[in-house]
Amino acid sequence: MIWSYAWKGFARRKTRAALAVSGLAISIALLVAVATISRSVRGAVGASLEAAGADVVIQKVVKPCPWAQVKIARDLSAVDGTVVGAVRDVEGVDNTTGVLDLWAFSEDKETGAQHPTVVAGVDPRKKTIGPVRVEKAEGAEDESCCAITEGRYLLSTDDFHVMVTEDYAKAKNLKLGDRCQLGPYSFEIVALLDLKAGAHISGAEAFVPLKTAQRMYDGGDVVTTIFVSLKQGRALPKVKEVAATLVGPEAKVTSEANIGEATAALAVVTQRTLFAISAIVLTLVLLLVVKTSLASVAERVAEIGILKATGWRDGDVSRLLSAEALYAGVIGGIVGTVVGIGLAFLYGTVVQPALPRSLVSYPECSTTEAPAALPFQATPSLWVLLAAMVAALVIGSISGYLASRRAAKLLPAEALRQL
**pLDDT tens profile 289-316:** 888 777 777 777 767 777 767 777 777 7
Q: What is the pLDDT of residue 272?
A: 61
Q: What is the pLDDT of residue 415?
A: 55
Number of Cβ within 10 Å of residue 233's Cβ equals 12
366: helix, coil or strand? coil
Rounded mean pLDDT of the chain?
80
The length of the chain, given as a count of residues: 419
Q: Is the pLDDT of residue 6 over 70?
A: no
Residue 188 CB partners (closer than 8 Å, separation 6+):
160, 161, 162, 177, 178, 179, 180
DSSP state at residue 384: H
Beta bridge partners of 206: 119, 164
Q: Crossing angle, helix 382-408 and helix 314-350, to 10 degrees? A: 150
Using the CB atoms, write b or e for 249-263: b if 16+ within 10 Å. Answer: eebbbbbbeebbebb
Q: What is the pLDDT of residue 326?
A: 86
Q: What is the pLDDT of residue 265?
A: 43
Range name among 32-36, 137-141, 376-380, 402-406 with the lowest pLDDT average: 137-141
Q: How far is CA 244 from CA 55, 75, 132, 356, 357, in A?
A: 17, 18, 26, 21, 21
Q: Is the pLDDT of residue 402 over 90?
A: no
**Cβ(224)–Cβ(136) below 8 Å:** no
Q: Is the pLDDT of residue 389 over 60?
A: yes
260: helix, coil or strand? helix
Question: CA angle, 141 as apex, 135 and 146 as ends, to 5°?
Answer: 35
Q: Pairing relation of β-strands 146-151 and 185-195? A: antiparallel
Instruction: Give which of 249, 250, 247, 252 is closest to 84, Cα–Cα.
Output: 247
Q: Is the pLDDT of residue 270 over 60?
A: no
Q: How far is CA 153 from CA 110, 124, 378, in A?
A: 32, 8, 35
Q: How do residues 73-108 score in pLDDT, each as one tens digit?
A: 767 888 999 999 999 999 999 999 999 999 888 776
CA atoms within 13 A on the CB side of 387: 17
Q: How do residues 350-374 score in pLDDT, each as one tens digit?
A: 777 766 666 666 665 566 766 666 6
333 vs 418: which has the higher pLDDT = 333
Q: What is the pLDDT of residue 264?
A: 40
Instruction: Give which of 106, 21, 58, 20 is closest to 332, Cα–Cα.
Output: 21
Does pTM top 0.75 for this prediction? no
Number of Cβ within 10 Å of residue 75's Cβ equals 16
Range name among 53-57, 89-93, 270-274, 386-390 with the lowest pLDDT average: 270-274
Number of Cβ within 10 Å of residue 383's Cβ equals 10
Q: How do residues 189-235 score in pLDDT, each as one tens digit?
A: 999 998 876 678 888 999 999 999 999 998 899 999 999 999 877 88
Q: How do residues 154-194 score in pLDDT, each as one tens digit?
A: 999 999 999 999 999 998 899 999 999 998 899 999 999 98
Q: What is the pLDDT of residue 19?
A: 77
Q: Which amino acid is at 280?
A: I
What percent of the chain is predicted at pLDDT more than 70? 75
Q: Is the pLDDT of residue 141 over 60?
A: no
- pLDDT band for position 266 (cuts 50, 70, 90): very low
What percent of the chain is predicted at pLDDT more than 90? 26
**Cβ(211)–Cβ(157) below 8 Å:** no
- pLDDT band for position 241 (cuts 50, 70, 90): very high
Residue 383 CB partners (closer than 8 Å, separation 6+):
none
> Strand (E) positions, 234-295?
251-255
Residue 81 CB partners (closer than 8 Å, separation 6+):
98, 220, 221, 222, 223
Instruction: Report d(CA 395, CA 266) in Å as an integer.
Output: 30
